A and B are shown apart, each in its own frame.
Chain A
Amino acid sequence: MHDGALPAGSAPPGTVIRMATLLIEQSTAEAAPIPHMRLSRQEHERLRRARGRQRALTAYLFLLPNAVFFTAFLIIPIIFLFYLTFHNGGIITPAKFVGLDNWRRAWSDDLVRTTIRNTVYYCLLAIPSVFVIGMILALCLQRIPRGSGPFRSLFYLPTLTPYVTAALIWLFIVQRDFGALNVTLGLFGIPPQNWLGSTSLVMPSIAMLEVWRGVGFWTLLFLAALLALPPELYQAATIDGASAWQQFRHITLPLMRPTFFFAVVMATIWNLQLFDSVSILTDGGPSNASATVVWYIYKAMFQFNDKTGFAAALSFVLLLFILVLTLIEIRLLRKPA
C-alpha cells in the first residue's frame, strides 16, 4: 500500500524512513528552547539565587511591621526586665545596681511564697472544674438533636463579659446579705457564707467566678473537637458492642488529646496570671489569702514604695515558671504515653 503511494523509481523504502527521521529531528530542533532561554548552568544558578533573594526580601518586608512591634514591645522589654532584676529604683529615682539583692529578697519573702501557693491553688481549683464541666456540657450539646445553637450562645455570653464586669457582677452574687448565692443557699437552709471575707472560701469563690466566665469558651472548644471526630469509629465500636463509657474512654478521650493538650497549656498560661478579679473583689485579702503573683507584682511596682527591682525579679520568676511548666506540659502531653 505504502509502496503504491511512492513515486515510481524513487529511493528504496529504507531511505524514506531515514528522511522521515531527519525531518522529525529537524522539526523538534525547531521547537527546542528559543536561543535567549537557553541558559548555561551558572547563569541558571545565578538567576535562581537572585530570584530567591528577591523572594526572601519580600518575605522579610511582609514580616517587618510585626518584627518592629515585637522587638520594641516584647523582646526589648524581656531583656530590660532581666536588667531590672539587678537594679533598684527607676520609677522615681534613677536605677542603681544592687547585684543579686532583689533575687535574694524574692527568695526569702514570705509573701512571694504565699502568692505562688495561692496562684497554684487557684489553678488547681479552677482549671480541672472548668474542663470537666466544659466537657460534660460539650458531650450534652453533641447529643441533642436540636436547640444546640441557642445553648451555645447562652453559654458563651459570660465569656464576652470583661473580667472587670464579671467580677463586679460576682460582687452582687456573693454579697453576704442580699447576694443571690446566699439567698439561694438559704432556700436549702444553709446559713449565709462570707464568700469573700473568709480565708478558706475566698479562693474557691474566685475560682467559681472563673468557672462561670470561662466554661462557655471551653465547652465550645471541646464541642468543636468532638464534632470533628470521625463517626465511623463510633459506628464500628457500636457494632462491636462497646458501651457508651467504653467508647468515651477508648475513642473520645484519646482522639481529643491534641485539644486537651492545647487547652491545658493555654489555661495554665492564662490562669497563672490571675489578677483582674482579685484586684476587684478582694485586693489580695483577707490576710493575703487571695494574693496572687501578678497582684503582688502590681502592688510592689505601683503601690508599695518603688520596689521596681523586686517586682522585676518576681516578674522574671513568673516568666520562668510559666515557661518551664509549659515545656513540661508539652513533654507530658504531646505524645501518647
Chain B
Amino acid sequence: MAIETEFAELRPPADITRATAARRKGPSLYLIAIYGILVIAAFIALVPFLYVISTSFKDTISLFQYPPEWIPSEPTLDNFRGLLADYPFVRWMLNSFVVASAVTIVKVVIDSMAGYAFAKMTFPGKDALFLVVLMTLMVPFAATLIPLFIIVRDLNLTNTYAGLILPALASPIGIFMMRQFIETLPTDLENAARLDGCSEFQIFRRVILPLIRPGLVVLGVFTFMTQWTSYLWPLVIGTKTEMFTLTVGVQSLRSLFTVNWGILSAGAVLSMLPLVLVFLFLQRYFIAGSIAGALKE
C-alpha cells in the first residue's frame, strides 16, 4: 500500500518535466547533457560486469591478451565446467540459499509482529524498548563479532546452519521498517475487527498482515539480499569447505591457489546471477527496500 504510493511518486512529477521542457524548446542541449551524464554513469556501472562476464568465457590464452578482447573470439565454458567440477560450488550456493531463506522467513514473521506491537499497541515500557531498538541500529556488527563467535562456538554451533542463521536474527532494521509500514494503516480497521470479536492475534493475521503484504515483500527482499551478500560472519563461523556460503567460497577460489582468473570470473558471475534474476522480477521492492524508512524519517 505504502509502497505503491511511493512508487507513484518515483515518476517525476509532470510539472517538473513540463517546466524543463517549457524552459528550453525541443530536445535541448540541456536534456542532451543530462542524458549524456546518465549514459556515462550507466556505462561505468555496467562495464565491470561485462568485463568479468566476458572473462569468464575466455580460455587461458586469450585471458592475458593485450589489448584485452571484449568479446572472446573463441568462447568456452571450460571455466564454468572447472568451477563446478573442482569446487563444491553448488553446495556453497545451497548453503547461502538455506541461510538467506531461513533468516528471511523468520525475520519477516517476527519483525512484523514486533512492528505491530510498536505501532499499534500500548504497554508499559514501550518507548524505552523502542529506544533500545533505535540504539541497536548504531551497534556495528563487527564490534560484536568476537563475543558472538565465542558464544556460538561454545554452543557447538560452528559449521552448522544454526550457527550461521541465529546471530543474523538479532537485527533491528526490520522492526523499524515494519513499524513504519503498520503505523500508516488506519486504526479504524483494527477497531472494527476488535468489535467483531477478533483477538489481537487474529487482527494481526487477518487484518494487518494482508494489508502490509508489499511491506513484507520489501523486508523479505532486503533481508535476503543482506544475507546473500554477507561475508564476515560466514567467514569466521564456517571453517569446513562444505559449510562455506557463496561469498566465502568465491573468495576462497582466490586464496587457495595462485589466482586462476578464468575460474574466479566464472565464480563471480555465478554468485551474482541469483540475486540479479530475483531483482529482475521484484525490482520495485528492491528499490523500495533501500528507501523504506528513510523517507518517513
A interface residues, Cβ below 8 angstroms from B? 52, 55-56, 58-60, 62-63, 65-66, 69-70, 72-74, 76-78, 80-81, 84, 90-91, 133, 136-137, 140-145, 147-148, 151-165, 168-173, 177-178, 180, 183, 212, 215-217, 220-221, 223-225, 227-228, 231, 234-235, 238, 258-259, 261-263, 269, 272-273, 275-276, 279-280, 293-294, 297-298, 301-302, 308, 311-312, 315-316, 318-319, 322-323, 326
Contact = CB atoms under 8 A, between A and B. Distances in A.
Given A301-B146, A311-B146, A315-B144, A180 B166 contact: no
Contact of B66 (A65, A162, A177): A177
Given A164-B247, A315-B145, A143 B45 contact: no
A162 B138 contact: no
Given A137-B38, A140-B34, A258-B297, A221 B291 contact: yes
Contacts of B85: none
A227 B35 contact: no
A221 B16 contact: no
A230 B59 CA distance: 56
Contact of A140 (B37, B136, B259, B286): B37
Nearest to B283: A153
B147 A155 contact: no
25 contacts: A56-B121, A56-B122, A63-B117, A69-B110, A76-B147, A145-B20, A151-B38, A160-B225, A161-B229, A162-B229, A162-B247, A164-B229, A169-B48, A169-B49, A172-B265, A180-B48, A220-B290, A224-B6, A224-B9, A224-B294, A231-B13, A258-B297, A312-B147, A319-B139, A322-B138
B67 interface: yes
B140 A318 contact: yes
Nearest to A154: B42
B59 to A, nearest CB: 15
B26 interface: no
A161 to B, nearest CB: 5
Nearest to B265: A172
Contacts of B297: 258-259, 261-262
A152 B12 CA distance: 13
A304 to B, nearest CB: 13
Contacts, number: 314
Contact of A259 (B9, B13, B246, B294): B294
A62 to B, nearest CB: 4
Contacts of A59: 117, 121-123, 126
A275 B233 CA distance: 11
Interface in B200-216: 200-201, 204
Contacts of B11: 148, 227
Nearest to A238: B19
Given A55-B200, A164-B247, A62 B142 contact: no
A130 B225 CA distance: 21
A136 B37 contact: yes
- Is chain B's binding surface mostly helix, strand, loop or mixed? helix
Interface in B23-80: 31, 34-35, 37-38, 41-42, 44-49, 51-52, 55, 63-68
A212 B169 contact: no
A73 B170 contact: yes
B151 A262 contact: no
A227 B275 contact: no
B243 interface: no
Interface string B159-179: 000000011011010010000
Contacts of A165: 247, 250, 268, 271-272
B129 interface: yes
A74 B45 contact: no
A298 to B, nearest CB: 7
Contacts of A169: 48-49, 51-52, 268
B249 to A, nearest CB: 9
Contacts of B46: 154, 157
Contacts of A74: 136, 139, 144, 170
Contact of B35 (A62, A144, A158): A144
Interface of B: 6, 9-13, 15-17, 19-21, 31, 34-35, 37-38, 41-42, 44-49, 51-52, 55, 63-68, 109-111, 113-114, 116-118, 121-124, 126, 129, 132, 136-151, 166-167, 169-170, 172, 175, 200-201, 204, 225, 228-229, 231-232, 236, 246-248, 250-251, 254, 259, 261, 264-265, 267-268, 271-272, 275-276, 279, 283, 286-287, 290-291, 293-295, 297
B65 to A, nearest CB: 8
A158 B51 CA distance: 13
Nearest to A90: B150
Contact of A160 (B110, B246, B247, B279): B279
Given A172-B51, A224-B9, A302-B236, A212 B143 contact: no
A315 B83 CA distance: 37
Contacts of A311: 146
A164 B251 CA distance: 7
Nearest to A217: B290
A297 B272 contact: no
Contact of A294 (B35, B111, B142): B142
Contacts of A137: 37-38, 41
B146 A275 contact: no
B297 to A, nearest CB: 5
B72 to A, nearest CB: 14
A224 B34 CA distance: 18
Nearest to B6: A224
A91 B38 CA distance: 51
B221 to A, nearest CB: 11
A144 B45 contact: no
Contacts of B265: 168, 172
